[in-house]
Structure formats: structure tokens, C-alpha cells
């Protein structure tokens, strides 16, 4: 083998050339050192180029995590749907309750007017059979309507 000093003998160099020579000398020394180390040691094993097999524990973890996320997402979506449905029913009930309360107030006012009319009417007019019978029938019909509206209101109040 020819040494580096033999290659560089007798050549005069400038500053840049001397730096290049020093770098070449260091590289040459590193190559020789590496060759000596490789002769004394076993060769470096080649990397395994086969794709890595997934571990069963990792697969189980990923499946379990996916399942948990799906269950949690389903629970959240179901809860959201039920909450929205309950809110819609409550809103409808509130509207119906207001309507029924207005109807009850209207019936109360009509019954009160009829009772006032009976009290203020002339005795002879109130005593006539057909007029009194008509008024009594109207009062009974309004009372029935009032009771059914009160029952509807109670049902709506009991609803969530």
C-alpha cells in the first residue's frame, strides 16, 4: 500500500492546497482505520428489510380504543337527541297550557256574565220556563267544557 506521505512528497503547496491536503489525509486515515477495525470484528449485520409484524397487544388496544370511542359517541348522540326531543315537547306543552288557560279564563268570564244576567234579569223573565231552561243548559255545557279543559291542563302540568 502506498502511504499518503509518499503521494505528497516533493510538492509545494499554497495555503488552500495545504488545507485540502490535510482533509484528504484525515479522510485517508479514517478509511485505513475503518478497514483495520472491520478485519478484527465481525461484519455489521444487514438491516431486516421485511415489514414489521404488528404486535397483538397493539391491535387489541386499537380495537378497544375504537370501540370505546364509538360507544361514547353513540351515547353522546343519543343523549343529545333525547334532550332536544324533551325540550321540543316541553315547548309544545307550554304553548298548549297557555291556550288552555286562555280558554278557561274565557269560559269563566262567560259563566260570570250568564250568572250576572240571571241575577239582574227581571223576575218574570227569569221565571219563564224556556228561558231559564236554556240558560241552565248553557251553564251546564260551559261547566262541562271548563272541567275537561281543567283536566287537560292538569295532564299537561304533570308531563315533563
**What digits encode the pLDDT tens for the residues 51-96?**
667 678 888 999 999 999 999 999 999 999 999 999 999 999 989 9
Query: Structure pTM?
Result: 0.43
CB 139 within 8 A of CB 104: no
Q: What backbone phi and psi angles, to 5 degrees, belong to 45?
A: -65, 145
> Alpha-carbon distance 133 to 139, whole Å?
10
pLDDT beyond 60 at 129 = yes
Higher pLDDT: 42 or 54? It is 54
Q: In a 10 Å sphere around its CB, with 0-12 CB exposed, 13-18 middle and 19+ buried, how is residue 100 labelled?
A: buried
Amino acid at each position: 500500500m502506498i502511504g499518503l506521505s509518499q503521494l505528497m512528497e516533493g510538492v509545494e503547496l499554497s495555503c488552500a492546497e495545504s488545507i485540502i491536503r490535510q482533509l484528504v489525509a484525515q479522510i485517508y486515515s479514517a478509511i485505513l482505520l475503518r478497514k483495520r477495525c472491520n478485519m478484527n470484528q465481525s461484519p455489521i449485520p444487514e438491516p431486516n428489510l421485511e415489514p414489521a409484524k404488528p404486535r397483538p397487544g397493539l391491535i387489541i388496544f386499537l380495537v378497544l380504543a375504537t370501540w370505546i370511542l364509538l360507544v361514547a359517541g353513540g351515547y353522546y348522540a343519543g343523549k343529545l337527541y333525547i334532550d332536544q326531543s324533551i325540550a321540543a315537547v316541553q315547548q309544545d306543552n307550554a304553548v298548549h297550557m297557555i291556550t288552555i288557560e286562555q280558554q278557561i279564563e274565557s269560559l269563566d268570564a262567560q259563566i260570570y256574565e250568564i250568572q250576572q244576567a240571571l241575577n239582574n234579569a227581571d223576575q218574570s223573565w227569569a221565571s219563564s220556563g224556556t228561558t231559564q231552561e236554556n240558560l241552565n243548559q248553557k251553564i251546564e255545557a260551559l261547566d262541562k267544557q271548563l272541567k275537561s279543559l281543567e283536566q287537560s291542563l292538569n295532564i299537561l302540568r304533570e308531563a315533563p
